[in-house]
Structure 1
Amino acid sequence: MIKRYLVLTGLVIGALLNAGCATMGESATALLEVPSVEASANRVAVGTGVLRVNHHMLNNMPISADANWPKLVTDEITDADYKAIRKALENDPWYATRHYSDPYQLQVLGGYMAPGISPLTYEVYQKILVLYGPDAENWPNVLKYSPKLDQFLEFVDAEDKTPIQIEAAQANMYPNLFAAITSLMPVNYQKDLSVSHDEMQTAFDETAYLKKDKAYLEKRLEDNKATIKPNYSGPLSPLSSAEIEQINEQISVLDVQIKQAEQQADQKQEIHFQLLDSALDAVKSDINLSKDNVMLAHNIKQVLDDIKSSAMQAGVLYTLSVASLIGRNSFQNFDKELMSLAASTALVPVKKRDLMGARIERLTENVIYLLPSIGMGSYYIVKQYSLAGKYAKVVDVVIEADASQKKMQAAK
């Protein structure tokens, strides 16, 4: 566990050292904004949205040598994109009502500025715009947590949304990024790579689900602290000492199971990586530098580099959220936060009060899944970063060999 969080911390530090404007802006904003559970929940939702977009690009997006979506998802956000994203958020419960509640929450909860749209929110929505098309009605909901944590890497409403249809003009089309990567490998390695990949992914999921179960129990213990406050009027009853002991015992059992699951997942990953290395040695001895292969490798590399960068950004979002929830006592002031939202409802125009009600309802639902999402998401961040880095080494062989060949030809 400690090793895992050290890796995540390293990714976060790396993200900050190599930060773009969005990441630095996110960090500065978090230090100054109202310390609220809602701000942290929104930030975690965006971080999870980043992981879901990464997962979608890795597993669901068809790719070819001449597909243009890899370039589009890595392009700078245009003014038209910003406008489209703000337009799409106009009816979001938080975005539509925050200006009415901000002054009161600043007064009640403290802080120096009201939470705004996370700079990284624009980045994840820009990718969604590319991957799901310009119709905002077809965009997945980033700020809504999913009660189906066994489908953590899928958007809560993904079944109702249709990704853009990808067609190759001339080159071969592959159903997903991994299939495209294995196509660059010798045929006799491809089946074993596919099997080891699936076994590795299953092991990752099993580990993440155990972390989810532990987080739920930890959340129950954290909630119990609120029940002993003098003015507590929430729905929970205080836990008895026997119940607290039982939960702690369950957590201890889960700690053992998580350690075993992590070891199993790491073993499956190592097997997969060893197969990749063996296949790569074979590729190096008989490399295919056809125009399509080289173009495909460049397309794959663009996506993988973006996934690595995005995973680090998600790590920043999770870390900033934890810092606010614990370091700035957001959790302890959650009752006061809910009361501030209820009191702010009177300031909201009548036509938007339904949205204010939806905002409070979403927040009370999201907070249930907040810690489990951080636990699962932190694990997947490290794995996505690791996989993207390893797969990038595969395509680098093709890209570097092509560059070397062109250099030699130019020198003749």
Structure 2
Amino acid sequence: MRKRVELRVKDAHSVPEREQLLAKILPETPKEVLEHFLIETASRSSERYVELLEYISAGTSRPSVVERLAAEEKILSLWRSAEPSLSDLYEYGGLSQDDEEELYDLLDELSNVLDEGLAGRECRREITDNVFEYLEKDDYGTHELLYDIALSACTDEDDLDYLSRTLEEQGDSLEERYGPASMMKYYKKSGDREKYLAIRLENLHRAEDYLDLAEFHRDSGDWEEAMKVAEAGLEKADGNKYTLRSFVIDRLDATGKRARATELRFDQFFSAAFFKEYLKFRRECSDEEWAAYEERVAERMKSAYPDARLFYHMHRGESSDALTILLQHGRKLYWNSDVFAAAEKLEADHPERMYDCYVRSMGNLYETAGRDVYALKARLMAAVRRVLVERLGEDAKWTAFAREVKKGNSRRAALQDEFAKVIPGWRKL
């Protein structure tokens, strides 16, 4: 047997060079050598095995068997990863925060992979049985997730019957255990249209309920009914309608109904009240449409969030209005980092007013606070220095002010540290 040559990283070729070399070598490599390499590589870890199966599935004309194997290996791998933490949780009654978060992520991903419906019955039943071993014990905060996994493992009526019988053995029932949302999720996945609609139509309250039903009709190919439901939701639903409105807008755009779509975009902009939505609305309006909406935009903008109004006035070159907002709302605006960039643009034309704005926004400079507050004040103090030194040329005023602040906070090491990070020469003052 030939001696294996170990390549050091510095000897490696670039990616294009490797591809060219492999393109020459692989056609001459015996099939059994490649098969041995792939099997050996895939056997080293579940991740490599799943990666190989998914790659093969994407490149074959009959991917169903390979997809099933990949899904099953992923499901079993996720369960194997989650079970040690589950066991510790139920044995000792708790986990560290990091371990608990990791466990919830694994169980949530497991439920999502099962929802894809690719795994075979044997694998699904194995997971259901494993889950119920823990559901028979006291709840340590995971029962809801485990019940979701058991339902996600159902893809047909036989699976649902099996789950129902298992619940009955515990003195429970399908109807008592699973609420409308879970059962609708199952019936949609299993293709039982009538049972899904029976529950869904009795539970239409919030915007997401109407969106769920509209998407169901869309996926069934019935756009007319989907739009009826969505429009009804815009009129009747409770809650945030942003996503539902987007659904309607996209369809109106696709069918050329621009006037209605533009009106909904106007509502969309003000439901979000973010400056980026204003820019998006302005960009999507023709000049003629903007002329019809500009006054309405200005009127509604008066009730938008302060940072959105600040950016709106800056965008329109209305610096006086922008300054007023900065002075009115002070430090709380500066938690949005973009506000610093907007404020700096005002310094050239309004240095004195911006100096006043920054000083007022810092509030009490001699109070004890957390590092996050110190860091924010440090950025504002750096802005004060920029205005005094670079805009107004008042170096002496800056030095006197900075020394006073530094001396008054001599025992606040965290403040000194944060100020020194962003203010040139702070430690030498």
Query: Shared topology, TM-score over 0.5?
Result: no
TM-score normalised to structure 2 length? 0.20
TM-score normalised to structure 1 length? 0.20
